[in-house]
Amino acid sequence: MEFEQADRPVALVTGSTSGIGEAVARRLAADGMRVVVHSRRSTEAGEALAAELGGTYVQADLAEEEEARALVETALGRCGRLDVLVNNAGVSRPIPHDDLAAATPADWRHLLEVNLIAPWVLCTAAVPALRRSPAGGSIVNITSHAGVRPKGSSVPYAASKAALNHVTRLLAAALGPQVRVNAVAPGLVDTPMTKDWTQAHELWRERAPMRRPARPEDVADLVASLISGTYLTGEVVVLDGGLNLT
């Protein structure tokens, strides 16, 4: 039994106590992986989810480089291996695009620190273990529709996600064939955080061919597909129900 547990692949999913991250954690656990659940603050929710999934929970503030590196080290120490890294954790800050003065250098630094630099730190810390994965390691970055179109909660936010899209491609070129790197760029996702975004919900219902926003499970399905495939790398997959077509 212990051998069987150790033989199961391990996935670290950041920001996985709610929304997209939770859905991804649940899907990967259902696919037979041991999941390392992470959050910055929601320790009770993280511990409960990890217990339910038969995984483990680690708390870390990814804006702090030492804590980000320690997250990977702790995951490896507890699980003995790491096969998948899903960089889901991120932050947003609503700032009107035309209010340039409101997007302060401090806003830029914080958004880039969490949305771009933290995933980079996690990738660099995880790559040695991912290279040793028997089936090949996989990194999936959760970016945003705002990283491929001129939109989003703020210019710094959109820029941070666009940069992560490009980093995805650069890492795929640098790390193959041992490690594949892809990204999912969701449009509107129906989560508690977006429930009051009335205009966005109306836009997706009226103009997207699928006539609805994504559900967290839709994102999780795509993430699982990118992980299970053994050839696709360097792709940024836009998951917007076809809104890009209109």
140 in Cβ contact with 226 (< 8 Å): yes
pLDDT (average), residues 121-131: 98
pLDDT (average), residues 87-114: 94
Closest CA to 22 of 185, 186, 239, 216: 216
Closest CA to 22 of 32, 13, 30: 13
Sequence-ordered list of residues with C-beta below 8 angstroms from that of 108, at least 6 positions apart, any chain: 156
pLDDT given for residue 1 in this prediction: 36
Burial letters 41-51, b for 16+ CB under 10 A, else e: ebeebbbebbe
Q: What is the DSSP string of 169-215?
A: HHHHHHHTTTEEEEEEEE--B-SGGGTT-HHHHHHHHHHSTTSSPBP
Is the pLDDT at 27 greater than 60, yes or no? yes
pLDDT given for residue 90 in this prediction: 93
pLDDT band at 198 (very low <50, low <70, confident <90, very high): confident
Per the structure block, which two tokens stand in for 16? Answer: 């996985």
Q: Give the chain's mean pLDDT.
A: 94
Cα Rg for the chain, rounded, in angstroms? 17
pLDDT given for residue 194 in this prediction: 84
Instruction: Kindly state the helix (H) or strand (E) to which residue 12 belongs, with its residue range.
Output: strand 10-13
Residues constituting the chain: 246
Q: 38-95: per-residue pLDDT in tens? A: 999 999 999 999 999 999 999 999 999 999 999 999 999 999 999 999 999 999 888 9
Q: How many CB atoms lie within 10 A of CB 196?
A: 8
- The CA distance from 22 to 14, in Å, is 9
Phi/psi at 151 (nearest 5 deg)? -155, -165
46 in Cβ contact with 39 (< 8 Å): yes
- The CA distance from 100 to 98, in Å, is 6
Is the pLDDT at 33 greater than 80, yes or no? yes
- Domains of the chain: residue spans and CATH: 2-245 (3.40.50.720)
Active site annotation includes 231: no
Percent of the chain with pLDDT over 70: 98
Q: What is the DSSP string of 56-85?
A: EEEE--TTSHHHHHHHHHHHHHHHS---EE
pLDDT (average), residues 148-163: 93
pLDDT (average), residues 224-237: 97
- The CA distance from 68 to 145, in Å, is 25
DSSP strands (E only) in 17-68? 34-39, 56-59
- The CA distance from 184 to 141, in Å, is 6
pLDDT band at 4 (very low <50, low <70, confident <90, very high): low
pLDDT given for residue 151 in this prediction: 85
pLDDT given for residue 2 in this prediction: 43
Of the candidates 26, 60, 157, 219, the residue annotated as catalytic is 157
Instruction: Kindly state the helix (H) or strand (E) to which residue 157 belongs, with its residue range.
Output: helix 155-175
